[in-house]
């Protein structure tokens, strides 16, 4: 293990580590554009220059391996001057676009200019302009070649991560420009990530473009509910002016680094899967299409359950839970329908068509919590049986969590269900076709409004955090069920998701001894 000194601090790192990585270990950040921890080193932006003692020239810290006894200075006058000069070169042909550039506020050119640049312009010639200004290069991304600093991060991303090879740098010198290979379009499943890795505003997100300024955004850690991979994300939302974007609060989703799950990336499906949070929501409880209060809704529901309970016909309750729910929600479903009431038919495995998948992140199972549902709920019946019974009128209370039955079982089936079942309850966050047939509709919260945990396909439990207040009167699924249990006179007494999780940990073996603290930001794998 070579031992070296950086800015007077000693550090031990394995052979082959580069100076920039060693410095990062010490908490010293060296400015960089082309270096990215997940991509191979290119060493072309030259801003990470550092002074290494006994070497005549400055060295690029992203490509210089450490050696025993090396003495590195990252902020000597020579280094600072070099940094300023490199920045001046990078900005020679850079347009003054910050006012219209979506990157402004999180742009490394702006940041480093304010920190290390601050020189007066010496440019006497006119800036070289590219033929085209911003243009779309695919479904998701806009390219502005004038803003590009040719760091080739995006090129290396498409070469090494997606292996789709869309980008290249063409021409030489002043005329070099980043472009797609002729006849290509950027339309792989991970195209949105190039926007994240581009250190400047050359690649911008078409979906996010001009919606708001990045400094308006609040950020909340979360987990993508788009598939069973459970990529870590941050929900970025606008607190001050949702009315401008048709009441939409969430502006964009960004990947959150987790080396165990998704590294620095997320797929496009997940990235743009946020519109449902603000659109098409159910905001009030409804009975036969009339808005009612929660009190009334609970009266109806508890009345139906109670009458079945008194006549001891609990097997005439069918519950279609969902793997979209958190572990906490599922546990309360189990507690209420399986343990407390006993005998109800509960399952979550509706026959969904497998979605798009690939070898990298995207999984065919589009539910974030299938593994958790399997552990917590298990399965004794089949959803098909429950639906069959409901169609034949052998079930009096059908409780559906968010599924669109008309899509899964056909229009005919759902029509029969709504006719033959005495009380058809739909509990979900968004309006779908099933709502037209359900008798009682209960609004629940989306993942960005509630707290809880998901278990992904690697059996990794990961937390989600509430970003903002729920829309309308929506309540968390566990909360609705706790209310119901109170009405039934067998209160479950759950105060918050944390207390539910503690009980999960106490009663379900794979979760043993876990707490929210132990799960932390990055999640933890369940015991086998």
Partner 1 sequence: MDNPNQKRRQELEKYFDVQGPFAFLRLAQMKRAWRQGNRRQLTWWENTYIPTLISGIWLTSKHFFRNLGFHILHLVGLCKDVRAAVTYQYPEQKRPLGLRLRTRHRLTKREDDSPRCVACMMCETVCPARCIEITAAEHPDPNIEKYPAEFILDLGKCVYCGFCVEVCPEDAIRMDTGILNTSEYSRESMIYNKKRLMEE
CB 121, min distance to ligand SF4, A: 14
Q: Which two tokens stand for residue 77?
A: 């006058």
Strand intervals (E) in 194-241: 203-205, 217-223, 232-238
Site string for partner 1, 372-401 (x = CB under 8 A): ------------------------------
38 binds ligand SF4 (CB under 6 A): no
Q: Which does 135 bind (CB under 5 to 8 A by kind): partner 1, ligand SF4, none?
A: partner 1
142 binds ligand SF4 (CB under 6 A): no
Report the distance separating Cα 154 and Cα 177, nearest Å: 13
Three-state SS letters, 137-169: CECCEEECHHHCCCCCHHHHHHHHHCCCCCEEE
Nearer to ligand SF4, 88 or 352 (CB): 88
212 binds ligand SF4 (CB under 6 A): no
Nearer to ligand SF4, 140 or 455 (CB): 140
CB 172, min distance to ligand SF4, A: 15
CB 98, min distance to ligand SF4, A: 3
* Residue 99 three-state SS: helix
CB 136, min distance to ligand SF4, A: 14
Cβ partners under 8 Å of residue 34, min gap 6: 42, 43, 44, 45, 62, 151, 152, 153
Per the document, the length of the chain is 528
Q: Which does 200 bind (CB under 5 to 8 A by kind): ligand SF4, partner 1, none?
A: ligand SF4
Strand intervals (E) in 28-134: 49-52, 59-60, 71-73
Three-state SS letters, 473-495: CCECHHHHHHHHHHHCCCCCCCC
15 binds partner 1 (CB under 8 A): no
Segment interacting with partner 1, rule: CB under 8 A, options 66-74, 132-140, 402-410, 466-474? 132-140
With vertex at residue 334, the alpha carbon angle to CA 329 and CA 338, rounded to the nearest 5 degrees, is 155
154 binds ligand SF4 (CB under 6 A): yes
- By CB under 8 A, the residues from 82 to 121 that bind partner 1 are 97-100, 104
Report the distance separating Cα 12 and Cα 14, nearest Å: 7
Report yes or no: 143 and 149 within 8 Å, Cβ to Cβ.
no
- By CB under 8 A, the residues from 192 to 211 that bind partner 1 are 209-211
Tell which one of 36, 94, 269, 335 touches ligand SF4 (CB under 6 A): 94
CB 114, min distance to partner 1, A: 16
Nearer to partner 1, 98 or 364 (CB): 98
Tell which one of 134, 250, 297, 308 touches partner 1 (CB under 8 A): 134
Cβ atoms within 10 Å of 408's Cβ, excluding its own: 18
Task: Point out which residues bind ligand SF4 (CB under 6 A).
Answer: 94, 97-99, 101, 103-104, 107, 109-110, 147-154, 178, 197-198, 200-203
């Amino acid at each position: 293990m070579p031992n070296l000194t950086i800015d007077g601090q000693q550090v031990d790192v394995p052979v082959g580590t580069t100076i920039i990585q060693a410095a990062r270990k010490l908490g010293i950040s060296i400015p960089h554009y082309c270096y990215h921890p997940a991509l191979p080193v290119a060493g072309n932006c030259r801003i990470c220059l550092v002074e290494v003692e006994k070497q005549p020239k400055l060295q690029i810290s992203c490509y210089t391996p450490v050696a025993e006894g090396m003495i590195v200075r990252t902020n000597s006058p020579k280094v600072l001057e070099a940094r300023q000069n490199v920045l001046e070169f990078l900005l020679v042909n850079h347009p003054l676009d910050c006012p219209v550039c979506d990157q402004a506020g999180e742009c490394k050119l702006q940041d480093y200019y304010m920190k290390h640049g601050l020189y007066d312009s010496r440019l006497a010639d006119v800036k070289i302009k590219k033929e085209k200004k911003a243009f779309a290069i695919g479904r998701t991304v806009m390219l502005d070649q004038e803003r590009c600093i040719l760091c080739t991060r995006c090129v290396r991303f498409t070469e090494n991560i997606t292996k789709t090879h869309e980008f290249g740098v063409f021409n030489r010198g002043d005329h070099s420009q980043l472009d797609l290979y002729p006849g290509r379009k950027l339309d792989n499943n991970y195209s949105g990530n190039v926007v994240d890795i581009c250190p400047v505003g050359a690649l911008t997100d078409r979906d996010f473009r001009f919606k708001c300024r990045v400094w308006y955004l609040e950020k909340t850690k979360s987990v993508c509910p788009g598939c069973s991979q459970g990529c870590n994300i941050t929900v970025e939302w606008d607190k001050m002016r949702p009315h401008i974007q048709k009441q939409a609060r969430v502006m964009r989703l960004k990947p959150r680094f987790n080396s165990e799950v998704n590294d620095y990336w997320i797929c496009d499906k997940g990235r743009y899967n946020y519109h449902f949070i603000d659109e098409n929501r159910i905001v009030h409880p409804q009975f036969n299409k009339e808005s009612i209060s929660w009190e009334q809704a609970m009266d109806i529901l508890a009345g139906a359950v109670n009458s079945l309970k008194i006549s001891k016909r609990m097997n005439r309750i069918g519950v279609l839970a969902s793997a979209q729910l958190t572990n906490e929600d599922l546990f309360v479903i189990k507690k209420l329908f399986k343990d407390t009431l006993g005998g109800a038919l509960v399952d979550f495995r509706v026959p969904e068509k497998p979605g798009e998948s690939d070898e990298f992140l995207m999984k065919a199972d589009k539910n974030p919590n299938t593994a958790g549902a399997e552990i917590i709920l298990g399965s004794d019946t089949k959803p098909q049986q429950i639906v069959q019974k409901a169609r034949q009128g052998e079930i009096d209370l059908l409780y559906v969590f968010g599924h669109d039955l008309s899509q899964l079982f056909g229009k005919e089936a759902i029509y029969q269900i709504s006719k033959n079942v005495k009380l058809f309850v739909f509990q979900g966050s968004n309006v779908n076709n099933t709502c037209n047939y359900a008798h009682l509709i209960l609004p629940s919260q989306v993942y960005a409004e509630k707290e809880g945990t998901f278990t992904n396909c690697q059996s990794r439990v990961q937390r989600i955090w509430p970003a903002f207040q729920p829309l309308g009167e929506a309540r968390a699924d566990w909360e609705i069920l706790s209310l119901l249990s109170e009405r039934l006179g067998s209160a479950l007494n759950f105060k918050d998701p944390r207390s539910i999780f503690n009980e999960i940990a106490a009663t379900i073996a794979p979760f043993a001894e876990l707490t929210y603290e132990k799960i932390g930001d990055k999640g933890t794998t369940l015991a086998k």
